[in-house]
Amino acid sequence: CGERNEASRIVGGVETAVNEFPWVARLSLNNKFYCGASLINDRYVLTAAHCVKTFMWFMIKVTLGEHNRCNTTHRPVTRFVVELVSHNFSFATFRDDIAVLKLNEPVQVTDTVKPVCLPKSDGNKTYEGVKAMAAGWGTVAEGKNHSCYLQEVDLPILSNEACKNANYTSQMIGDGMLCAGYPEIGKKDTCQGDSGGPLSAERSDKRHEQLGVVSWGIGCGRPGYPGVYTRVTKYVDWIRSIATSGCFCSE
C-alpha cells in the first residue's frame, strides 16, 4: 500500500505525474464528478460523510486509475457502491465527517490502482509540521471550474491550537479534525470538488499513509483560513471494523 508512482513531478497546486497517486478516486452522480475518495483496500474507499450523506448509495459511481478525467478514450476502473457507512456526522458542526463505501466488486491492484496505507490508531499524535500532500480534481481557484487533470499540493500540517489561533473559533475545530496549509499567506489549499479526497504523508519507508480526509474550510487558500480535514488516526479502528470483507495489503 501507499506506493507512489514517481516520474516528472510538478509541485505547488499543479498537475501530478500520470497516476502518481494511484489510490485517489473520484465520486460521480449521474456521470457528473462531485467529490474525491481514496482506495483503502481492494473493496472499500474512504471519503467525507458530507459527500454522501444526502444521496442514496446506489447512485454513486467510483472511478479509479484516472489522471485526466476529461479524456474519453481512456478506460479507467469503475465500480458502484453497494454499502455506505458514515460516522455520526452533522452538517451543523462538520464533526465526524468520514464515510466508508463498499464497492460492488473488488478491484485488482495494478500500477495505476493501489490502496493507500492507513496510519496506526493514535489519537495523541498531532503530526504538527509534517509535510502532507493533497490530491484531487477540484477547482484550481475559488469560483473556477473543476480541473481535468489530477492536481497535487504540498501542505504543512498545523497543530489544532495554531488552527484555532487563525481566524477559526475554538468551537469550530474539534479533536477529530486536522488543519493543514499556510494560514499567514494562504494561496495553497484544497478547494471545491476536492472534498472527500486524501491528505497523505510519506513515511520513512517511502510509503504514503492517509492522515486526513478533505472536509471543509472558508473559501480556498484565503489567509487565516487553512484547510480542515477529518483526522484519520481518530477513526482507524472504526474504519477497519467496517472494511472487513476487503483485503488490506501487508506492509
Asked whether the beta carbons of 128 and 210 are under 8 A apart, the reply is: no
> For residue range 144-185, what is the model confidence (pLDDT) as tens digits?
667 788 888 889 999 999 998 888 888 899 999 999 988 666
Taking the domains of the chain in order of start, what are their residue ranges?
22-115+235-242, 131-233
Catalytic residue chosen out of the listed positions 38, 50, 194, 208:
50
Residues contacting residue 82 through CB under 8 Å, at least 6 positions apart: 57, 58, 102, 103, 104
Note if 90 is an active site residue. no
Q: Say what percent of the chain tops pLDDT 90.
A: 53
Catalytic residue chosen out of the listed positions 38, 86, 195, 200:
195
Of residues 191 and 227, more confidence is placed in 227
Note if 87 is an active site residue. no
What is the domain class of 131-233 according to CATH? Answer: mainly beta
Q: What is the CATH number that goes with domain 22-115+235-242? A: 2.40.10.10
Note if 208 is an active site residue. no
Half-sphere exposure at residue 73, Cβ-oriented, CA atoms within 13 angstroms: 0
> For residue range 87-124, what is the model confidence (pLDDT) as tens digits?
989 999 999 999 999 999 999 999 899 999 999 988 77
- Computed over every residue of the chain, the mean pLDDT equals 86
User: Tell me, what's the pLDDT at 48?
Assistant: 97
Catalytic residue chosen out of the listed positions 97, 146, 189, 200:
97
Answer whether 22-115+235-242 and 131-233 agree in fold.
yes
The pLDDT of 58-62, averaged and rounded, is 93
